[in-house]
Amino acid sequence: MEPYNGLMEKAKDLLTLQSTTAIVYWDLETKMPPRGIQLRSQQLALLQKIGHRMLTDPEIGKLIDAIRSHKDYDSLDQLQKRNVHLAKKEYDEATKLPEELVVETARQTAMAVDGWKKAKAAKDWEMFKPDLQKVYDLRKRAADILMDVKGTPTRYDALIDLFEPGMTSETISRIFSRMREGLVEIMDKVKDAPRQPNASFLSRKVPLETQRNIADAMAEVIGYDVKSDQAGGRIDETEHPFTTGYFDDVRITTHYYEERFESSVFSVLHEGGHAIYEQGLPHEWMFQPVGAGASSGIHESQSRFVENMFGRSPEFWGYFFPKLNKLTGGVLSDVELGKFVHAINKVEPSKIRVEADEVTYGLHIIIRFEIEKELFADRLTVDELPQVWNEKYREYLGVEIENDSEGVMQDTHWAGGAFGYFPSYALGNIYGGQMLEKMTVEIPDYKDYISKGSFKEIKSWLEDNVHKYGNLYDPADLIKVITGDELRIEPFLTYLDDKYSKLYGY
């Protein structure tokens, strides 16, 4: 069908441009000399403008109409129809956003991310606030428009839908409330448990060069190639780890702390989980809308599956702990394996989301979700953020925030305009729990493979059950296809309770 081919040509250009923008953004974060920031924001704004013009090209609207009213429309297969659906959704959203708003948002978020870094280093909320206010105002304008286009009940739902298509704040509220109950219950059992971990040896110094070798070894374990002459990835250093890229060039970053070597170990596994998802998408879908991850939450399910369910398991460390000791020249040679595994799974309410354990992590997300919801319902102002933040941390996690760098300014998301993203992290855990439940049925002895240091059986299962579907389904439908079930919190809570009861002996 000719208009379909025409639409796919347009999609190819757009996806190629987006993959180019990803490289330019990656460079900003990893390699760009400091003085380049002004020019870089101009470049990103221009790419955004070009992308927006390509995306809103009236020709696309005509092609979509021609396809949908075509006599052979019904002969399109599921994949082709999904491509048309995704293209139409993107087109409808984009044509409603004024170019001036899109360009200004690109420019302002680039500046605000830069400003956030400086303000965070200076622990100065007042320095960051004006930038954040501008970004918030721009996103609110966009949310108002998107709410109309998408027909979501609130403007915050419209933002959530950008990352988690079809998900609503109401569903999230409902499942998060059950999650909170379950997590608090486990937290309480852990607190009173007979076995308590000692994690002090995790702060032993490991030189950065050694940590780089450990990072490479982790990448190798999970089959993320950053070294060979067929490598399709690389590992660099940024303040805040992330993954970016497209198919044959997907890059991750990490942060090495001399006295917290495990931080980078789990960052690399986490980001590596994102990377192998991207690289596990069907290659023949490259340059088609369907050739992408299903949602941010599904993406997080993959990164957390690799980081936590695989990477923090006793079985994996049974295999890797001797290797770790070899790589570090025996820095933990006096530590028992069991004590090490307990230490890297220590449950402790804390201030920093990215350092949180699997049990308390969800509470960090609930705080952000509640704040965003109020903020976009105009029941909270940017001005009030630090105060509300600190109160919620006291109430939910029992910790006192002493300065805003370890509080409201800890994450880059808001500076980058990614309001509505945070729920995806917790949804990722929930999806992952359901996937694990299913995988356990299909590979009952999967822990034996992990014990041997073999990740490839799990990787194959993820490829065959998650990656291969790309963006063929909205996340809720995908979970149904994979597991046969609706969204359920129980598998994730069962996984946690099972794991922590063994570690803590409660």
Report, in Å, the least distance between residue 381 CB and a second copy: 33
User: Which residue do the tokens 């000719």 mark?
Assistant: 2
**CA-to-CA distance for 172 and 115, rounded, in angstroms?**
31
Query: Token pair for residue 225?
Result: 């190639």
For residue 86, give every residue at least 6 positions away whose Cβ sits within 8 Å of its Cβ, in sequence order, or none: 289, 290, 471
Let me know if 171 is exposed, middle or buried by CB neighbors in 10 A (0-12, 13-18, 19+). Answer: middle
Which residue of the set 164, 262, 271, 300 is catalytic? 271
Report, in Å, the least distance between residue 415 CB and a second copy: 19
DSSP 119-186: HHHTT-HHHHHHHHHHHHHHHHHHHHHHHHHHT-SSHHHHHHHHHSTT--HHHHHHHHHHHHHHHHHH
Q: In degrees rounded to 5, what are phi and psi of residue 486?
A: -75, 175
Give the residues lining the site for a second copy (CB under 8 A): 13, 16-17, 19-20, 23-24, 27, 31-36, 38-40, 42-43, 46-47, 50, 225-226, 229-234, 246-249, 251, 286-287
Q: Which of 121/377 has CB closer to a second copy?
A: 121
**CA-to-CA distance for 232 and 245, rounded, in angstroms?**
10
Q: Which of 6/349 has CB closer to a second copy?
A: 6
Report, in Å, the least distance between residue 33 CB and a second copy: 4
Report, in Å, the least distance between residue 37 CB and a second copy: 8
Q: Which of 233/420 has CB closer to a second copy?
A: 233
Q: Which of 50/66 has CB closer to a second copy?
A: 50
Q: Which of 98/505 has CB closer to a second copy?
A: 98
**CA-to-CA distance for 313 and 318, rounded, in angstroms?**
9
Q: How far is CA 205 from CA 269, 355, 394, in A?
A: 21, 18, 32
Q: Which of 286/331 has CB closer to a second copy?
A: 286
**CA-to-CA distance for 170 and 373, rounded, in angstroms?**
10
Beta bridge partner(s), residue 249: 246
> Is 185 annotated in the active site?
no
Report, in Å, the least distance between residue 52 CB and a second copy: 13
For residue 104, the tally of other CB atoms under 10 A from its CB is 16
Report, in Å, the least distance between residue 107 CB and a second copy: 12
User: Which residue do the tokens 């980078």 mark?
Assistant: 264
- What residues act catalytically? 271
